[in-house]
Amino acid sequence: MSPSIEADASRLPATAPPKSARRVSLIWKTRWFGVGFIVLLLALWEIAAASGAVPSMSFPRMSAVMMTWWELIVSGELLGELVPSLWRMFAGYFVGVALGVALGLLMGYFRFFYSLLEPITEVLRPIPSPAYLPIVILFLGIDDEMKIFMIAFASLFPVLLNTYSGVRSVDPIQLQTARTFGVTGWKLLWQIVLPSAAPYIFTGMRVSLAVALIVMVISEMVAASSGIGYFILSAQRGFKIREMFAGVLTLAIVGYVLNRLFVAIENRVLAWHYGYTVQQRN
């Protein structure tokens, strides 16, 4: 994706206006333009709260939220809530991804598993995870097992479906090439199908990462005595409005950092894919 944009940008200067005009026009192309917009919105929040236009009980100043957030970080309270949350999230996420990849490969590669599992996948997949949360609590209680199960189950489907699509779209020429070199069966699955489907798998994993974060918070809000979801809800119930906002702010930061990390890993693992896609397009 990005290489083609860069290629377009590098072609621009030939027809672009003189330097000064170009510098002005480029500001809105940078990331800082959007960051500036966030700063502007936060400033508006600060002004709105400070002016008293909105009741300040449920709408604290942005600066007050930031101060509270910082205090909670320094005291270690927020990290204390974040650690169990992230542990649950990653435990569930990795279980879900592993199962999703394995089932997606089997369904894409073996007709038998497709026929067996496709209907049940389509029945289970549309159920919103909060809907089966009460059932899971009945069976697994309200401890970490329940949350990990919830997160794993919700993370599984995006990965499964994308892995399946990836396997189905492996180039038959690549499969035949491998066969002429004597690579068949499980070796073919491991050496050709899996790497070839990797771009699809990563797409699924990225969707699942967001899903895992959501389900983590939901399951902690419903039943928990620790975790960031629990922290936010109990802050709200105790009228600790600044703490509540600080918790949400923490989730925004966590979500952002996780996504950046994911993209960095994806770019590394799939470096070949971007170059290949550009070549295919030309």
Tell the smallest beta-carbon distance from residue 161 to another protein (Å): 22
| Spatial distance between the Cα atoms of 27 and 44, rounded to a whole number of angstroms | 22
Taking CB under 8 A as the binding criterion, the range among 105-113, 186-194, 209-217, 241-249 that sits at the site for another protein is 186-194
Q: Among residues 174 and 234, whose Cβ is nearest to another protein?
A: 174
Q: Among residues 199 and 247, whose Cβ is nearest to another protein?
A: 199
Tell the smallest beta-carbon distance from residue 272 to another protein (Å): 5
Site string for another protein, 12-51 (x = CB under 8 A): ----------------------------------------
Tell the smallest beta-carbon distance from residue 205 to another protein (Å): 17
Q: Among residues 259 and 277, whose Cβ is nearest to another protein?
A: 277
As given in the structure block, the two tokens for residue 9 are 């940008």
Q: Among residues 61 and 273, whose Cβ is nearest to another protein?
A: 273
Tell the smallest beta-carbon distance from residue 172 to another protein (Å): 9
| Spatial distance between the Cα atoms of 235 and 247, rounded to a whole number of angstroms | 9
As given in the structure block, the two tokens for residue 270 are 């799939």
Site string for another protein, 187-226 (x = CB under 8 A): x---xx--xx-x----------------------------
Return the C-alpha torsion angle 115, 120, 126, 129, nearest 10.
-140
| Spatial distance between the Cα atoms of 92 and 80, rounded to a whole number of angstroms | 19
SS3 53: coil
Tell the smallest beta-carbon distance from residue 183 to another protein (Å): 5
Q: Among residues 152 and 197, whose Cβ is nearest to another protein?
A: 197
DSSP string, 125-139: TTS-HHHHHHHHHHH
Q: Tell which positions 250-279 bind another protein, by CB under 8 A.
A: 272-273, 275-276, 278-279
Tell the smallest beta-carbon distance from residue 277 to another protein (Å): 9
Site string for another protein, 154-183 (x = CB under 8 A): -----------------x-xx-xxxxxxxx
Tell the smallest beta-carbon distance from residue 154 to another protein (Å): 29
CB atoms within 10 A of CB 137: 16
SS3 201: helix
Q: Is 228 exposed, middle or buried (0-12, 13-18, 19+ CB in 10 A)?
A: buried
| Spatial distance between the Cα atoms of 148 and 281, rounded to a whole number of angstroms | 41
Q: Tell which positions 95-114 bind another protein, by CB under 8 A.
A: none
Residue of 25, 27, 67, 26 whose CA lies nearest to 46 = 67
> What does each C-alpha distance from 181 to 16, 169, 187, 198 come to in angstroms?
51, 21, 11, 22
Is 2 a binder of another protein (CB under 8 A)? no
DSSP letter for 192, please: I
- Per CB under 8 A, residues contacting another protein are 171, 173-174, 176-183, 187, 191-192, 195-196, 198, 272-273, 275-276, 278-280
